[in-house]
Structure 1
Amino acid sequence: MTVIPSLNVPLLNVDVTPLRREELLAHIRDAAREHRRMLVAGHNLHSVYLWYSLPEFRDFYDRAGAVVVDGMPLLALMRIGLKVPLRTEHRIGSTDWVEGLADLEGIDRVTLLGGTPAASDAVLKHLRSLGGQVDWQAIPGDPWRAENIEEIAGSIRDHDPQVLLIGMGMPLQERIADQLASRLDVPVIATVGGALDQLGGTQSLAPRRLGAMGLEWAWRLANDPRRLAGRYLLEPMKLAALLMLRP
């Protein structure tokens, strides 16, 4: 299992792997070429809250080979607390790097799992439009039916991908990643949240400059307040309470 050296985020006490987009893609390329297993995840305040709340979620993240920084608050805490020379480029969401697989040398087959049938078709069409040599496979995952895991594993096995992207939302996607990892021989498995829906256009994709400014959450909240209000407005307070109560 490939594990890239990490840094501990002050105050939050979680480990992350600060990588730029091209650095992450290079690690994915090398793991796929050498058929080394690697789990790729991303940490933001939402995932940190789940890390403290759910033991199985924490176990998944502790086994991940690369946990990229997917939130400006984490980057800011490392800049201040560790005084390491990290730049805004070290904050990368899944939408920042997934398209890069299209041009990644040695990556020929990629499977996407997640979204409604319409959303799955949309992201497949988008990624195919990028050109390149990748043979993309898209499998819908919404609504998710746990009893279909063997059928889905069989479809992925037939495609024989080097990279599997699972965009199902936390913590479901991490649970599915573990279930599929035990059934398949896929070198790289990455959990990518809503990136597949966003790249396919079925969810709004924030202008990338807002991510660098730490304001992507505000864009997403404004566009989907009913679904995201609890995550962005209430969860940070719950996380603060957990941090104060920890030993």
Structure 2
Amino acid sequence: MIHITHPTRDGLLADIAARFATGEGFTLATLNLDHIVKLRRDPAFLAAYLVQSHVVADGNPIVWLSRLAGREVELIPGSELIVPLAEMAAHMGVPVACLGATRETLDQAVVRLKEAYPGLRIVARIAPPFGLDVTGPAGDGMIAQLRTSGARLCFLALGAPKQEILAARAAAALPACGFVSIGAGLDFIAGSQTRAPRLVRRLALEWAWRMASNPGRLTRRYAACAAILPGLASTARRQRGL
């Protein structure tokens, strides 16, 4: 069973700041319905998720299901953590690595982050090879690059389940580094992908906006997510005693 470990953004950021101050690492996963679908099918993904030190709600259905179970949690998308964590890293002198996406996206994202947060030190930018196997030699090589760089915060933009599996592996090798799985977050920072408008997000319709922009890839994904909702709602009601 996967649980939300940090229900509020302020509490999450305060905990991460404390870990930066003491040199303690962490792994942060952002739970959504697509992850739950994958967790049921992929034992390696589940094993990686179970060792994440921080899990937050990335998706309104997770927020609603938690509320139905009697637990209030805030919506904390992974892509929205890049800015506050980059600002915190600049203020606290924490060296940062960006891993994932393409070289062009990484370069543009780094430029924009450094412009926004003077003093931010990006010590590694790692664009993975096509068809990356994070459990094989390529994954080992990226972990070695992170070790050499001295990074203490790593934004992982590989998509699920690769980013969470790599985070679990890398955290065991680099216990003083924090790993944050952010999906397409660096693409949003760089401008190579466009996120749904703010009003669409406030109306909890980002999923519809995304599906309309890429129906071929996302229709089946969202259908699988919708199919598990009734069972999840029933479980949440039982947890609350309804």
After TM superposition, the score normalised by the length of structure 1 is 0.82
- 1:37-89 deviation per Cα after TM superposition (whole angstroms, max 9, x unaligned): 3111011100111222222222222222211100111111222231x454xxx
The answer to which structure, 1 or 2, has the higher relative contact order (CA under 8 A, 6+ apart) is 2
1:99 is matched with which residue: 74, 77, 83? 83
Instruction: Tell whether 2:123 aligns with 1:139.
Output: no
Distance 2:40 2:231 in 1: 7
Distance 2:94 2:33 in 1: 34
Q: Which structure has greater helix proportion?
A: 2
Question: What's the counterpart of residue 54 of structure 1?
Answer: 42
Instruction: Tell whether 2:115 aligns with 1:125.
Output: no
Instruction: Tell whether 2:209 aligns with 1:222.
Output: no
Deviation at 1:108, TM superposition (A): 2.3
Question: What's the counterpart of residue 193 of structure 2?
Answer: 203
Instruction: Tell whether 2:133 aligns with 1:157.
Output: no
Question: What's the counterpart of residue 114 of structure 1?
Answer: 100
Distance 1:27 1:150 in 2: 28
Alpha-carbon distance change, 133 to 22 in structure 1, aligned in 2, over 3 angstroms: farther
2:12 is matched with which residue: 19, 24, 37? 24
Deviation at 1:207, TM superposition (A): 2.4
Alpha-carbon distance change, 176 to 242 in structure 1, aligned in 2, over 3 angstroms: farther
Letter in 2 for 1:174: E
Alpha-carbon distance change, 150 to 61 in structure 1, aligned in 2, over 3 angstroms: closer
Instruction: Tell whether 2:182 aligns with 1:192.
Output: yes
Alpha-carbon distance change, 64 to 179 in structure 1, aligned in 2, over 3 angstroms: closer
Structure 2 unaligned runs (5+)?
236-242
Q: Does the Cα contact within 8 Å between 1:102 and 1:132 map onto a contact in 2?
A: no
Distance 2:130 2:3 in 1: 32
Question: What's the counterpart of residue 73 of structure 1?
Answer: 61
Question: What's the counterpart of residue 44 of structure 1?
Answer: 32
Instruction: Tell whether 2:184 aligns with 1:183.
Output: no
Letter in 2 for 1:140: A
Structure 1 unaligned runs (5+)?
1-12
Alpha-carbon distance change, 158 to 102 in structure 1, aligned in 2, over 3 angstroms: same
After TM superposition, the score normalised by the length of structure 2 is 0.83
1:171 is matched with which residue: 149, 161, 173? 161
Among the aligned pairs, what percent are the same residue?
Answer: 25
Aligned residues: 228
| Superposed structure 1 runs of 4+ greater than 6 Å apart | 241-244
Alpha-carbon distance change, 19 to 210 in structure 1, aligned in 2, over 3 angstroms: farther
Task: Name which of structure 1's ranges 223-232 and 37-46 shifts more when overlaid on structure 2.
Answer: 223-232
Q: Does the Cα contact within 8 Å between 2:96 and 2:153 map onto a contact in 1?
A: yes
Instruction: Tell whether 2:148 aligns with 1:148.
Output: no
Deviation at 1:28, TM superposition (A): 1.5
Give the aligned CA root-mean-square deviation in angstroms: 2.4
Q: Does the Cα contact within 8 Å between 1:21 and 1:96 map onto a contact in 2?
A: no
Matches within 5 A, 1:81-96: 81-82=69-70, 84-86=71-73, 90-96=74-80
